[in-house]
Amino acid sequence: MGRKFFVGGNWKCNGTIEEVKKIVSTLNDSKAPPQDVVVVVSPPFVFLPLVQSLLRPDFQVAAQNCWVKKGGAFTGEVSAEILVNLGIPWVILGHSERRSLLGESNEFVGDKVAYALSQGLKVIACVGETLEQREAGSTVDVVAAQTKAIAERISDWKNIVVAYEPVWAIGTGKVATPDQAQEVHSELRKWLTDNVNAEVAESTRIIYGGSVNGANSKELAAQLDIDGFLVGGASLKPEFVYIINSATEKVAAI
């Protein structure tokens, strides 16, 4: 298949220096992940240099956001250029919490993705529907519109990972069933085939996020079009290592 399994850990707005050091120590002491698995952790901005300095070299670091254009008089924001200067390779953009709490539109997220890529960052681009949208039967339309806003602004997909995160499953303990997640991932890949090209559809990793934990990660990983995870709360716990190793299910399923 050629798509490297990808496991991201989004620490969100959590942690103290002591807690961060403990999480990193757990990761550093873990067995090496399965071959061809990319592991990226995303601490709060203030901990990025600390985590990067302590974390084992086969794991990477991501910022949780960046500004939509070049830095300047934008108090509280962090630009793509700053992240590049710090040597941070990845950034998460379009997370549903920013879309809902801060009003980031599809177009704004698309602009952010395009600018971050133009500055040399790799992007974890998030899409996903609310419970109301799912119950209305508009899941595919919603994630297609979110993806379209990105596709209209970029031409090169090699540095993008798409994270499908149903909003109703984030932090709620509810998880899309493996069949539900696979269905949306398959539809997203079909959308990329029809609206970008077959090569991009085949090579782009589409990962799942939404209350992923050690109890459900293996079954989710075995699905054909699920190429990894963006993990929230469980990425702060030792079970994150177990989730990373669920990539073995993907190998077994191929």
List active site positions.
95, 165
One-letter amino acid at 115 equals Y
Strand 122-127 and strand 90-93: pairing?
A: parallel
Cβ proximity of 230 and 181 under 8 Å: no
Q: Which two tokens stand for residue 63?
A: 């910022």
CA 43/CA 62 separation, integer angstroms: 7
Which residues face 229 on adjacent strands? Answer: 7, 208
CA 243/CA 245 separation, integer angstroms: 5
Q: Which of 222, 151, 145 is nearest to 182 (CA)?
A: 222
Alpha-carbon dihedral angle through residues 180, 181, 187, 188, given to the nearest 10 degrees: 160
Please count the other Cβ atoms lying within 10 Å of the Cβ belonging to residue 4: 14
